[in-house]
Structure 1
Amino acid sequence: MEEYNILRMQDRLKEYLTRDRFIHTQGVMYTATALAMCHGEDLVKAQVAGLLHDCAKCIPTGKKLKICKKNDIALTKWEEENEALLHAKVGVYIAKKKYGITDPEILNAIRYHTTGKADMTPLEKIVYIADYIEPGRYKAKNLPEVRHLAFQDLDETMYRILRDTILYLSGSANTMDPSTTEAYEYYQKLHNERKGANT
């Protein structure tokens, strides 16, 4: 198993993020670690993925696009049109290049923390959920209930978050990434199957 110097990573990351973004990142790291502890997943991987999930967030959009072009990072139409989606793929590149991360589980957790996808691994779900429920978050609907649920059932929490996200975005000008739609359909089906089995 790879060894990671979390403190050194934090010190380095602090140079590239705004103060608020760094505080958020620490919140995600601690929340992801707590969720991993609760659900029997790898604590170190959760720490590293939580810490680095937004490592490319504060890079200007133009530079993110240049990094993608220079390093043959394929972008979907949705990613090209929505700046907020770019940092996930660029984050994978930065995690490899600047922080020496090679573990595919960690890299995929960074990759999918914004859009989600169908049939996510436990670590991917943990980082996605931690990003939504960390202590600095306060605007999302039903947050106390979702926080409580996260420590009981990751799949049901994914369904709740994705459902609320889609309801929120449907009332705005933002377009929906297909991966998010696929994730919602997957976890909605799981939710309905489990609900049916319990009736």
Structure 2
Amino acid sequence: MNINREEILQKLRLQVKASRFKHCLGVEKAAQELAERFGYERPEVAALAGLLHDYAKEQDQSEYFRLIDQYGLDSELKKWNSSVWHGYVGWLKVKEDFPEIAEEYPEILRAIEIHTVGSGLMTMLDKIVYVADYIEENRDFDGVEKARKIANQSLDAAVAYETAHTVEFLAHKQVPIFPQTIETYNAYISALEDIKK
């Protein structure tokens, strides 16, 4: 991998506050550990995807709208918020700021794109980043220990558990749920049955 981690860290520090930076380091570590546990062929690529997953998290709305317009994304995306935008739109910011990563590891961009909303069809790298974001060592919320235990057993079940809790949380708040999140729930929820047995 011909990517300079120190340069990435310098750019990342300029984009996010200190607490978010710490979270990104935690996801980098968790992604590498999950990649090694489940036999992903390039753990260093998983780590890099984890490190950059929230690179665009703290952009202004105007920057997200610029990306949506410039790259011809569905204008309906403008009705959502940064929880969706930072991945679903933010991967384009990563592509702009790290063209060498985009060229060499396009799979990282996809993992960043869907790391909050998921997808009915996810690669192993997609699942690793999605799960690592939820279970990294700095996270502390009800259910995170169970999520970590499930993640030790099955990536699919971990995706299912995380998505189920996200859907439940959003439904409780009575806010709209991004359609692709529902798609992810439907695609993976049966994986939890294997854990229950």
Task: Give the TM-score normalised by structure 2.
Answer: 0.90
Structure 2 matches for 1:2-151, cutoff 5 A? 2-41=1-40, 42-72=42-72, 74-75=73-74, 77=76, 79-83=77-81, 84-100=83-99, 101-102=101-102, 103-139=105-141, 141-151=142-152
Distance 1:146 1:67 in 2: 33
User: Which residue number in structure 1 is paired with residue 185 of structure 2?
Assistant: 184
Corresponding letter in the other structure for 1:97: E
Alpha-carbon displacement from aligned partner over 1:89-114 (angstroms, at most 9, x marks no partner): 33221222111222221111001001
* Percent sequence identity over aligned pairs: 31
User: Which residue number in structure 1 is paired with residue 153 of structure 2?
Assistant: 152
Asked whether the equivalents of residues 56 and 93 of structure 2 are also in contact (C-alpha less than 8 Å), the reply is yes
Distance 2:68 2:111 in 1: 19
Distance 2:74 2:27 in 1: 26
Distance 1:191 1:179 in 2: 19
Q: Specify every segment of 5 or more residues in structure 1 that has no aligned partner in the other structure, as ranges.
A: none
- Other structure's SS at 1:159 match: helix
Alpha-carbon displacement from aligned partner over 1:35-63 (angstroms, at most 9, x marks no partner): 11111112111111111111111111122
Matched positions, count: 192
Distance 2:190 2:165 in 1: 16
Distance 1:195 1:132 in 2: 18
Distance 1:155 1:71 in 2: 31
Alpha-carbon displacement from aligned partner over 1:11-39 (angstroms, at most 9, x marks no partner): 11111111111111111111111111111
Corresponding letter in the other structure for 1:151: N
Residues 39 and 92 of structure 1: is their aligned pair in 2 closer, same or farther, counting only changes over 3 Å? same
Corresponding letter in the other structure for 2:89: V
Distance 2:130 2:120 in 1: 13
- Other structure's SS at 1:156 match: helix
Corresponding letter in the other structure for 1:11: Q
Task: Give the TM-score normalised by structure 1.
Answer: 0.89
Distance 2:59 2:131 in 1: 23
Distance 2:67 2:188 in 1: 33
Corresponding letter in the other structure for 1:22: F
